[in-house]
Structure 1
Amino acid sequence: MFQIIGIVLLFALVFGSYVISGGKFEVILHALPHEMMAIGGAGVAAYLISNSTSVLKSTFGGLAKAFAGPKWKRADYKDLLSLLFQLTKTMKSKGVIALESHIEKPAESTIFQKYPKVLKDHFATDFICDTLRMMTMNLEDPHQIEDAMEKQLEKHHHEALGTPHALQNLADALPALGIVAAVLGVIKTMGSITEPPEILGGMIGGALVGTFLGVFLAYGLVGPLAARLKSIVDEEGAFYKIIQSVLVAHLHGNAAQISVEIGRGDIPSAAQPSFIEMEEALQAAPTEA
């Protein structure tokens, strides 16, 4: 919502100030199609050249996410902690054998099925199951498991940042592409140097539209969207960091509820449930028969 409001304000204030100061839209509208073809076309071409197939496929989804916001909400964090609580409690009270059926086929697990949104996230599910599987293999060095988890998190986060980095690179390139379009307009103007001043003035003004568009698109639209998407990816990364915190705390011998409380501390403040809320959620969580 705020992103849409920001875009409306951007266009209203920039072009409103232009009109109030006596500017005429005819010059911009006349040059806009050609300048946008040069700048936008060059930008899209550069984006295709510089990025991998996976980044290209995720671009539209990333732009949609920049408007929709992080997918993990307050209730999802409570669900994640409740899931981890039940898994670690099962492992501690019933042993490794009782846990194997849940981590080998999580889609069929009665514990995972209670939290469909977490189960639907393949990385979160695999991350939990792979880590618990390492624990069941008697790999009991907490630091070794923590290092393995850290590497997985870094890899996933690096890949998730591919789209915002690509958009930021595009934003950095747009002002220069605007200059390219403007230079072409100047070349065209110089080829018509014998025309009267009023015609030359219009041609020069049209050429400068290219510089304006490049800077406007870079710092008004693409750059802010890239920054917004990066902040969302960082916030969503905290969701997976909680998994690491809880499971490492469990590996250090803490009780399931203590491990969950350690993980609760890593939740972003805006979505963090209180201690009482989390305690009520754990009490309300269904228990295994």
Structure 2
Amino acid sequence: MDALTLIGLLFAVFAILGGQVLEGGSIESLANGPAFVIVIGGTLGAVFVQTPLSTLMLAIRMMPWMIFPPQSNPISAIEKITQWSLIARKQGLLGLENILDSERNIFDNKGLSLLVDGGEPERIRETLMIELDVREREGVKAAKVFEALGGYAPTLGIVGAVLGLIQVMGNLSEPALLGTGIATAFVATIYGVASANLLFLPIANKLKSIVQTQSLHREMMIEGIVLISEGENPKVIESRLRGFVPDKGKV
């Protein structure tokens, strides 16, 4: 669970609401149904128009990653590959067939299958790199759905503001109705800018980061599998793969 995401969202919400109270305003004044419908509804509609259904569905499936990101433990992955290399060194590549069914990661399972089938190292690398590139492109495209939401929301906030001002101008002779139009105008702008900068754009950037982390994991798996197919020493394989693990003590 990524608690930092929840902390960030709560911090942002409390900062805005707290600032409103400190300015002498009321929290209730920020609740405006028409403004919400204009900004959020219009933003979603614009994104629906520009996004293929498959990409939209993938983006929806990726949303839980903000709180529950896919587990990626490079140290465990290195230990797994090193164990595979030891088995291959003692029993040959066919010895890995016994663990093929127990490998749950789809990408790792495919690489292991190619290894057991005795594929040439470069052929294995080429096949897995194609899949890595496709998965990364699809993941980035899905993340950009939220980036698009962040791009459209402020503009729809301006649309909401203009609609509110139109209502104000149409009711100049009825002062009692002016407040509603003015509230919609200003609150719509807040909804648009706040949703873009506190929600949509951060989600897009977080998902892109997760996709990059997954790609790095797959690159490491490809390197390890290719080294095993080349008959490299297990200690050399482990040493090479540790280069994929960032040293948190250094920049």
- Output the TM-score relative to the length of structure 2: 0.85
**C-alpha displacement at 1:23, in angstroms?**
2.2
In the alignment, the residues of structure 2 paired with residue 42 and residue 13 of structure 1 have an alpha-carbon distance, to the nearest angstrom, of: 26
In the alignment, the residues of structure 2 paired with residue 204 and residue 210 of structure 1 have an alpha-carbon distance, to the nearest angstrom, of: 10
**C-alpha displacement at 1:201, in angstroms?**
5.1
Checking the alignment, whether the CA contact within 8 Å between 1:175 and 1:215 is kept in structure 2 is: yes
Checking the alignment, whether the CA contact within 8 Å between 2:164 and 2:183 is kept in structure 1 is: no
For 1:48, the equivalent position in structure 2 comes to 48
In the alignment, the residues of structure 2 paired with residue 129 and residue 267 of structure 1 have an alpha-carbon distance, to the nearest angstrom, of: 25
For 1:19, the equivalent position in structure 2 comes to 21
Are 1:89 and 2:86 an aligned pair? yes
Checking the alignment, whether the CA contact within 8 Å between 1:128 and 1:243 is kept in structure 2 is: no
In the alignment, the residues of structure 2 paired with residue 235 and residue 194 of structure 1 have an alpha-carbon distance, to the nearest angstrom, of: 60
* Residue identity matched to 1:203: G
Checking the alignment, whether the CA contact within 8 Å between 2:94 and 2:116 is kept in structure 1 is: no
* 1:45-124 correspondence to structure 2 within 5 Å: 45-73=45-73, 77-99=74-96, 101-102=97-98, 106-107=100-101, 113=102, 119-124=103-108
2:200 to 222, 241, 252: 222
Deviations 1:25-52 (A, max 9, x none): 44332xx111111111122222333223
In the alignment, the residues of structure 1 paired with residue 246 and residue 147 of structure 2 have an alpha-carbon distance, to the nearest angstrom, of: 25
For 2:11, the equivalent position in structure 1 comes to 9
In the alignment, the residues of structure 2 paired with residue 84 and residue 222 of structure 1 have an alpha-carbon distance, to the nearest angstrom, of: 37
Are 1:231 and 2:209 an aligned pair? yes
For 1:275, the equivalent position in structure 2 comes to none
**C-alpha displacement at 1:175, in angstroms?**
0.5
* Residue identity matched to 1:177: L
Percent of pairs with identical residues: 24
In the alignment, the residues of structure 2 paired with residue 181 and residue 193 of structure 1 have an alpha-carbon distance, to the nearest angstrom, of: 19
In the alignment, the residues of structure 1 paired with residue 182 and residue 128 of structure 2 have an alpha-carbon distance, to the nearest angstrom, of: 58
**C-alpha displacement at 1:200, in angstroms?**
2.9
**C-alpha displacement at 1:229, in angstroms?**
1.6
* Residue identity matched to 2:15: L
> Aligned to 1:23, what secondary structure does the other structure show?
coil
In the alignment, the residues of structure 2 paired with residue 175 and residue 58 of structure 1 have an alpha-carbon distance, to the nearest angstrom, of: 24
CA RMSD of aligned residues (A): 2.5
Checking the alignment, whether the CA contact within 8 Å between 1:181 and 1:207 is kept in structure 2 is: yes
Checking the alignment, whether the CA contact within 8 Å between 1:164 and 1:229 is kept in structure 2 is: yes
**C-alpha displacement at 1:264, in angstroms?**
2.1
**C-alpha displacement at 1:202, in angstroms?**
5.0
Structure 1's unaligned 5+ residue stretches are 108-112, 114-118, 271-289
The 1:251–1:26 alpha-carbon spacing in structure 2 relative to 1, beyond 3 Å, is: closer
* Residue identity matched to 1:128: L
* Residue identity matched to 2:209: S
- Output the TM-score relative to the length of structure 1: 0.75
Checking the alignment, whether the CA contact within 8 Å between 1:238 and 1:267 is kept in structure 2 is: no
